[in-house]
Chain A
């Protein structure tokens, strides 16, 4: 899923300081699964903002809504009858949401309430970790199912570097050295020889470095 973190309240309050009637829109996709932008979090943000503004003596009127997804036009369409009732709209979806909303409703003001961070999964409830960098050319099969592009601080294809110590990365003792895990798994599986092979420089044209990307599947296009 796409993982995100809620922005600090003060930052959101600053964004909406000139507005008095707000709609907060959640998303039932990834951000619901990572507990940052679903209907529950919409409610918490609404209450928190109302408390803050009530304290300032400038009460805020807030409505709440959570869409199926904010990254598909058919769901974004669902607010067309109410969108003009608000001074501003806060999206709690990943960075895609407020952009799709802005494109569909060019006359309205949209603000992001979350910082979109990475593609990852839940290690346990409340803890998520990065797994994919979306480089456009998957290579994890060379590395026992682990991605050094996303999970090595230096994206080394011929690691580990000299900063790997005790299974941890040189950037932090809280970060696993993915190359340590790759080497150990290769040894366990008796496939260490795979790592003796030189891995050539990566072609980054399929990643963001090649410019903004688009995926077109002709068989689906109407």
Chain B
């Protein structure tokens, strides 16, 4: 399946989305990412029982944090799909890229007029 997905998506692999920390997501935004999303297994199918459910709650926390400081919470998202769903993976990458393009660059990347 040589599926193509947008090249602006940088993939960071983790053994389980349960490994993804609030700080990983915040640091990505802090360091200039326009958006960041977590692609976990389907709910109820985590090898480690509830890693993906923990990840979802952390994503929610980061969304709330961004909202508090006036940044669109949609820049951060959680998706669930199974490892066998290659086409769905590419679709999500496109969907998220589209969403971010519509939102425009992160306010952190916009140069403030002096």
The reply to whether A51 and B26 form a contact with Cβ atoms under 8 Å apart is yes
Distance between A82 CB and nearest chain B CB, rounded to angstroms: 23
Known contacts A9-B65, A40-B23, A43-B23; is-contact A51 B71 (Cβ 8 Å): yes
Q: Does B70 reach chain A (CB closer than 8 Å)? A: yes
Whether A48 and B65, one on each chain, are in contact in the complex, defined by CB atoms closer than 8 angstroms, is yes
Q: Are A57 and B68 in contact (CB under 8 A)?
A: no
**Contact flags A1-21 to B (C-beta < 8 A → 1, else 0):** 000000011100100000000
- From the candidates B23, B29, B69, name the one contacting A44 in the complex (CB within 8 A): B23
Determine whether the beta carbon of B70 is less than 8 Å from that of A48: no
Collect the chain A residues with CB atoms within 8 Å of residue B107's CB: 55
Complex: A196 Cα to B30 Cα, angstroms? 62
Q: Which residues does chain A contribute within 8 Å of B66, judged by CB atoms?
A: 51
Q: How many residues of A contact B (CB 8 A)?
A: 16
B112 & A44 in contact (Cβ 8 Å cutoff): no
Q: Tell me if A50 counts as interface (CB < 8 A to partner B).
A: yes
What residues of B have a CB within 8 angstroms of the CB of A54 in the complex?
30, 108
Is the C-beta of B22 less than 8 angstroms from some C-beta in chain A? yes
Residues on B with C-beta less than 8 A from A52 are 68-70
**B19 sits at the interface (CB 8 A):** no
Taking the closest CB of chain B, its distance from the CB of A149, in whole angstroms, is 34
Number of interface residues of B (CB under 8 A): 15
Known contacts A9-B68, A9-B69, A48-B69; decide if A55 and B108 are in contact (CB<8 Å): yes
Across the interface, which residues of A come within 8 angstroms of B26, CB to CB? 44, 47-48, 51
Nearest chain A CB to B73 CB, angstrom units: 13
| A97 smallest CB distance to B (angstroms) | 22
Among candidates A40, A43, A55, A57, residue contacting B69 with C-beta atoms closer than 8 Å: A55
**A contacts, CB < 8 Å to B:** 8-10, 13, 40, 43-44, 47-48, 50-52, 54-57
A-B contact pairs, 9 of them (CB 8 A): A9-B68, A10-B69, A44-B26, A47-B27, A47-B30, A48-B26, A48-B65, A50-B30, A55-B71
Other A-B contacts than A47-B23, A47-B27, 11 sampled, CB-CB below 8 A, are A9-B65, A9-B69, A48-B26, A48-B65, A48-B68, A51-B65, A51-B69, A52-B68, A54-B30, A55-B70, A55-B71
